[in-house]
């Protein structure tokens, strides 16, 4: 198993892509911290599912936007497991609104959830990874951060920020034995994505823009996340991988 005895913290792992990444990491032998902000029942279900595989797991309620919550979550991880090997910065949201209508509040909300959270969680995780001189951080960015998305200007800017953040931090943390990489998914069939994107827009996107002709599924992100977290990727850092059915191919 590729993550045997490692401890992984996946932010926003009560639902969607994060939940599938957490389950896949547990299948590969990791013990898990399931993070959520609102969906407690779903987080506890994920914990049960992981425990049924014979791994250890705990759910931690923490808003990734708040430094005090994030620091407490990492402290709890250390109390419970005594180590942290893998951080997946997955929690995020993707509101749609035309640029002309974006308020200061809208802008700050997106930046806090999609970009500042990655800074806060990475800094807290690295503080405990550094002494062990080993660690892997996987950031879930988006194709919006590579090519931009209509009516998603703040989100595109935040995810572009996550990509640049990943590269800069990868350079700075390499001498400490910590690798940082990013995954940029195209539209992935989660409840949130299906409620946010209008049906007509999805049809046009899959018909004319995605060579593989369909949306992605959360399970199609997890293999890469597990690989990047594992020692098999020990010579890979500062990279960005699109998982998008060919949408951004050039």
Q: Which residues bind ligand NAP (CB under 6 A)?
A: 11-18, 35-39, 63-65, 90-94, 113, 140, 142, 185, 187-188, 190-193
State the minimum distance, in angstroms, from the CB of residue 185 to ligand NAP: 4
Residue with Cβ nearer ligand NAP (113 or 137): 113
State the minimum distance, in angstroms, from the CB of residue 127 to ligand NAP: 19
State the minimum distance, in angstroms, from the CB of residue 37 to ligand NAP: 4
Q: Is 155 a catalytic residue?
A: yes
Residue with Cβ nearer ligand NAP (151 or 176): 151
Residue with Cβ nearer ligand NAP (215 or 233): 215
CA distance 105 to 113: 12
* Residues that are catalytic: 155
């Amino acid at each position: 198993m590729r993550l045997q005895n490692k401890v992984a913290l996946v932010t926003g792992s009560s639902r969607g892509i994060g939940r599938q990444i957490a389950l896949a990491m547990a299948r590969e032998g990791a013990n898990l911290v399931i993070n959520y902000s609102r969906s407690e029942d779903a987080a506890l279900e994920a914990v049960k599912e992981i425990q049924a595989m014979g791994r250890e797991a705990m759910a931690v309620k923490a808003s990734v936007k708040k430094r005090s919550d994030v620091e407490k979550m990492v402290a709890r991880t250390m109390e419970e497991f005594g180590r942290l090997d893998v951080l997946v910065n997955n929690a995020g949201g993707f509101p749609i609104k035309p640029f002309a209508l974006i308020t200061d509040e809208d802008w700050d909300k997106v930046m806090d959830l999609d970009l500042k959270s990655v800074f806060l969680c990475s800094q807290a995780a690295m503080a405990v990874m550094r002494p062990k001189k080993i660690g892997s951080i996987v950031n879930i960015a988006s194709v919006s951060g590579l090519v931009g998305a209509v009516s998603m200007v703040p989100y595109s800017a935040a995810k572009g920020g996550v990509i640049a953040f990943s590269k800069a931090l990868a350079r700075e943390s390499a001498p400490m034995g910590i690798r940082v990489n990013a995954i940029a998914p195209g539209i992935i069939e989660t409840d949130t994505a299906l409620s946010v994107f209008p049906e007509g827009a999805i049809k046009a996107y899959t018909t004319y823009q995605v060579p593989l002709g369909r949306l992605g599924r959360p399970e199609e992100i997890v293999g890469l996340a597990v690989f990047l977290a594992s020692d098999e990727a020990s010579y890979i850092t500062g990279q960005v991988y699109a998982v998008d059915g060919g949408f951004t191919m050039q």
